[in-house]
Chains A and B, each alone.
Chain A
Amino acid sequence: MENMVGIQHSSSREKDFVEVLGLREEIEKIQSTIADFETGKKLNIAIVAEPLKGKTTLSDKIERINLNRAAKITFSKIVQNKNEISLPDDTKKIVILDNCHFLYMRKPGGFDIFYEFLDMISFQNRIFITTWNTNSWKFLNEAFGLGKYFPVQIFIPAFEKENLRLFILNRYEKDEIKFAKDEESEEEPFFYIMKYPLELALLGKKIFILVPKINISYLKNRLLKKQKIEAAEDQVFEKLYLESKGNPGIALRIWELGLDYPVMKPKNIGQFSYEVDLEYEEAFTLSLILSYQGLTKSEITEIMGPMSSVDKILYQLLSQELILKDENDSYRVRPEALSSVTTYMEKLRLVW
Chain B
Amino acid sequence: MVDGNTSREQLLEIFRSVDTQTLITMALIFLIAYVLGRIITILLLKLSEKLSHTGRIKVEVVIPIIKFVIYLIAFYFIFREIFKIFGPEIFLLAGLLGAAIGFGLKDLFSDIVGGLVITFEKPYQIGDKISIGNYFGEVTDIGLRSTKLFTPDANVVTAPNSLIFKETVASANYGVSEMMVVIDLYIAGESHVETAMRILWEAVVSSKYVYISKERPVILLHKALPFYTRLRAKAYVNDLRDQFKFESDVHTRAWVEFQKNGIRAPQLHILNIPSIEEKYESEATTRRNMGSNAEGLKDSR
Decide yes or no whether B238 CB sits under 8 A from chain A. Answer: yes
CB nearest to B257 among chain A residues: A108
| Contact assessment for A204 and B253 in the assembled complex, using a CB-CB cutoff below 8 Å | no
Q: Which of B51, B202, B213 contacts A142 (CB 8 A)?
A: B213
CA of A284 to CA of B246, assembled, Å: 13
CA of A348 to CA of B100, assembled, Å: 51
CB nearest to B214 among chain A residues: A142
Contacting B at CB under 8 A, from A121-164, are 139, 142-144
Contacting A at CB under 8 A, from B193-230, are 199, 202-203, 205-206, 208, 211-214, 218
- What DSSP secondary structure best describes chain B's contact surface? helix
Which one of B52, B177, B238 has the greatest number of beta carbons of chain A within 10 Å?
B52
Decide yes or no whether A111 CB sits under 8 A from chain B. Answer: yes
CA of A216 to CA of B51, assembled, Å: 39
Min CB gap B80→A, angstroms: 40
| Contact assessment for B52 and A143 in the assembled complex, using a CB-CB cutoff below 8 Å | no
CB nearest to A104 among chain B residues: B206
Decide yes or no whether B166 CB sits under 8 A from chain A. Answer: no
- What DSSP secondary structure best describes chain A's contact surface? loop
Decide yes or no whether A246 CB sits under 8 A from chain B. Answer: no
| Contact assessment for B253 and A349 in the assembled complex, using a CB-CB cutoff below 8 Å | no
CB nearest to B203 among chain A residues: A108
Contacting B at CB under 8 A, from A49-69, are none
Q: Which of A106, A201, A280, A284 contacts B52 (CB 8 A)?
A: A201
B171-211, CB under 8 A of A: which get 1 and which 0?
00000010000000000000000000001001101101001
Chain B residues with CB below 8 A from A144, complex form: 205
Chain A residues with CB below 8 A from B54, complex form: 202, 349
CA of A143 to CA of B205, assembled, Å: 6
| Contact assessment for A108 and B202 in the assembled complex, using a CB-CB cutoff below 8 Å | yes
Min CB gap A286→B, angstroms: 11
Q: Which of B52, B202, B211, B253 contacts A305 (CB 8 A)?
A: B253
Decide yes or no whether A88 CB sits under 8 A from chain B. Answer: no
Decide yes or no: A202 and B52 within 8 Å by CB, A109-B260, A352-B213 being known contacts: yes
Decide yes or no whether B118 CB sits under 8 A from chain A. Answer: no
By the criterion of a CB under 8 Å from any partner CB, how many residues of chain B are at the interface? 26
Decide yes or no whether B78 CB sits under 8 A from chain A. Answer: no
| Contact assessment for B253 and A107 in the assembled complex, using a CB-CB cutoff below 8 Å | yes
Chain B residues with CB below 8 A from A202, complex form: 51-52, 54-55
Decide yes or no whether A325 CB sits under 8 A from chain B. Answer: no
Chain A residues with CB below 8 A from B52, complex form: 201-204, 346-349
Decide yes or no whether A110 CB sits under 8 A from chain B. Answer: yes
Q: Which of B50, B51, B177, B199 contacts A108 (CB 8 A)?
A: B199
Contacting B at CB under 8 A, from A182-209, are 201-204
CA of A29 to CA of B103, assembled, Å: 80
Contacting A at CB under 8 A, from B233-258, are 238, 242, 252-254, 256-257
Decide yes or no whether B53 CB sits under 8 A from chain A. Answer: yes
CB nearest to A204 among chain B residues: B52
Min CB gap B187→A, angstroms: 14
Chain B residues with CB below 8 A from A204, complex form: 52
| Contact assessment for B213 and A109 in the assembled complex, using a CB-CB cutoff below 8 Å | no
Min CB gap B296→A, angstroms: 15
A296-310, CB under 8 A of B: which get 1 and which 0?
000000010100000
Min CB gap A285→B, angstroms: 9
CA of A202 to CA of B49, assembled, Å: 11
Q: Which of A109, A203, A349, A350 contacts B202 (CB 8 A)?
A: A109
Chain B residues with CB below 8 A from A347, complex form: 51-53, 55
Decide yes or no whether A281 CB sits under 8 A from chain B. Answer: yes
Chain B residues with CB below 8 A from A201, complex form: 52
CB nearest to B213 among chain A residues: A142
Chain B residues with CB below 8 A from A303, complex form: 206
A323-352, CB under 8 A of B: which get 1 and which 0?
000000000000000000000001111101
Chain A residues with CB below 8 A from B208, complex form: 280-281, 284, 350
Decide yes or no: A108 and B253 within 8 Å by CB, A202-B52, A346-B52 being known contacts: yes
CA of A304 to CA of B247, assembled, Å: 16
CA of A109 to CA of B54, assembled, Å: 32
CA of A349 to CA of B208, assembled, Å: 11
Chain A residues with CB below 8 A from B260, complex form: 109
| Contact assessment for B206 and A142 in the assembled complex, using a CB-CB cutoff below 8 Å | no
A96-114, CB under 8 A of B: which get 1 and which 0?
0000000000111111000
Interface residues of B (CB under 8 A from A): 50-55, 177, 199, 202-203, 205-206, 208, 211-214, 218, 238, 242, 252-254, 256-257, 260
Q: Taking A108-B256, A204-B52, A348-B53 as given, write out 6 further A-B residue pairs in contact, using a Cβ cutoff of 8 Å, ordered by the A residue number.
A: A106-B206, A202-B51, A284-B208, A305-B256, A349-B54, A352-B213
Of the A-B pairs whose beta carbons lie under 8 Å apart in the complex, a sample of 9, sorted by A's number, is A109-B202, A143-B218, A201-B52, A202-B52, A280-B242, A347-B51, A348-B52, A348-B53, A350-B238
Give 5 nearest A-B pairs by CB, closest first: A108-B257, A347-B52, A143-B205, A284-B208, A108-B202
